[in-house]
Structure formats: structure tokens, C-alpha cells
Amino acid sequence: MKRVNLIGAGKVGQTLARLIAASTGYQLGDVFSRSVSSAEDAVKAAGQGAAQATLSDMAPADLWLICVPDDQIAATAQTLAKAHLLPSVALHCSGFLDASALAPLADFGWQTASCHPVLSFADPAIAASQFAGTYCAVEGSAAQCATALITALHGHPFPVNAAQKALYHAAAVFSNNFATVLQAIAQEAWAAADVPPDVAKALGQKLLDGTAASVARLGPAAALTGPAARGDDTVLTRQGAAVADWHPEAGSLYQTFSTLARRLKETGSTLP
């Protein structure tokens, strides 16, 4: 049974704590967070492990999971390196940063890797229940250890180019976060057109579900419909003007997306 220590008991950390405690072959050890209450909550929810008030109170472990915000990863690695523990394995969960963020530990002989689960962690309980089948990007000298952990948690690890982590993560932002923003713009536009709120919500859901199914089945280029895909310049011009008059920033997005949509339909790619 491998012992896993957790640093950072936010939503990602709490989710992983639950999964580790329920897994076969791994057990949750010590948990440290800037907020002691967060560490205690993680331990309580997992039903395993021990909350520690300071990082120096943490016992050795086979694996260390660093689930702090991106701008704290390097500093956390530096602090952990100064603890002079026997070299172990450390993983961080950033989608943007690669394993080199843990260089202070690597310099002391630790194996390091980044392991990014592509999942929304808005609610730890829901995220834990949905984790099975989640794809997780893995890279670094400890990629094999990260792969074994994710497999034990019933996720799907896959390799990613460390030099392109920023672009990899941007892709997830486009696929998920920006898609959410576009749904908000659509809802606001329907509201401005006096579409009843319940109808607007149903419209958004039906269109989003249909689009997701079509893209999954056909791929983006074949699934694309609408005025740009049809080459309907008159609609694009008049509609773009109407959007810009209502919401200038959305108008700029409309123009950009129309250009990309036409290119995608004509060439099969958005790339110039």
C-alpha cells in the first residue's frame, strides 16, 4: 500500500483525497493546506489521513501530490526540498505548468511529473463521482508513477508534450471555459430579443447537446452549420452589425468566429 501525502486541500485536492482513500493500492497519508480547516475537511470527507498544521509536520510518503494554485507550485517545491526528506516522487496538477516547476525537488533527486485531470472541479463530491474515465495529461520523469496512480483512480492517463503544456491547456480553455462564456452570450442575446427565459434555457440546452453529439460523431468541420458555413455573406454582414450594435465585444467575437468558421468549412481547419 503506497502512502500519498497531499499539499493543498482546495477543490482538486479534496477530490483526489476522496479518490485515493477509496482506491486499491494507495492510502491517504498527511494533508497540509494553508487553511487547517480545509485540510481537516479533506480528511473528514475522505475518511482517511491526518491533517497537519505545518508542512514540516508531514511524515515521509511514497508519493506527494501538490494541488496548490499554479503560482504557488515552485515555492511549495522549494519549501518541501528544504525539509530534507529522503527523495520521493512529487506530482503537481497544473494544466499550464510542466514538471520543471518542481525543479527544486528534482535537484535533490526527487522524481517529478505533472498530472492534469481534464475535469471540472466545481464541487469535490461531484467531481469524485464523475472521475472514472477522466483523461489526465501526464509528463515528467515520474510519468510512470503518475500513470499508475491515475489508473488506480480509474482515470485515463495520456502523454503530453511538456514544451507545449500552455497550448495544451489553452485547448481545454477553448473547449470548456470559453464554451461556457459563449452560452452566456447566447442567453443574453435571446433575452435582448425578448425570448422567454425558460425557452432560452431550453434552446441553449437543445442546441448545445445536439452540437456536442454531432461534433463527437462527425468531427468539427462536418458538424459545422450556419451562415458562415453556407457562405451567406448578406446574413453575416447584417447579423454581425446587429450583434456589434448590441454588444461591441460580442460583435468582435462574431466577426472572428465567422472568419474561422468559413475557413474550417472550406479547408477542414481553422489554421491559416
Query: 51-76 b/e with 16+ CB inside 10 Å = b?
Result: bbeebeebeebebbbbbbeeebbbeb
**Residue with cell string 491547456:** 169
List residues bridging with 140 in a β-sheet: 113
Q: Where are the alpha helices (DSSP H) in the chain?
A: 11-21, 36-46, 70-82, 103-106, 124-130, 143-152, 165-172, 178-192, 197-218, 220-223, 227-230, 233-246, 248-267
Cell of 223: 458538424
Nearest to 38 by CA among 17, 16, 14: 14
**Residue with cell string 515555492:** 75
Q: What is the pLDDT of residue 84?
A: 85
Residues 23-33 pLDDT 10s: 999 999 999 99
Which residues in the chain land under pLDDT 50?
Answer: none
Whether residue 73 contacts residue 106, with contact meaning beta carbons closer than 8 Å, is answered with no
Global pTM value: 0.87
CB atoms within 10 A of CB 86: 8
> How are strands ordered across the β-sheet holding 135-140?
50-52, 26-32, 2-7, 63-66, 89-92, 111-117, 135-140, 156-159
* SS3 state of residue 60: coil
φ/ψ (deg, to 5) at 63: -150, 135
Residues 214-272 pLDDT 10s: 999 999 999 999 999 999 999 999 999 999 999 999 999 999 999 999 999 999 999 99
Alpha-carbon separation of residue 82 from 48, 54, 89 (angstroms): 27, 14, 15
Residues 33-42 pLDDT 10s: 999 999 999 9
Domains annotated on the chain, with CATH: 2-160 (3.40.50.720), 167-267 (1.10.1040.20)
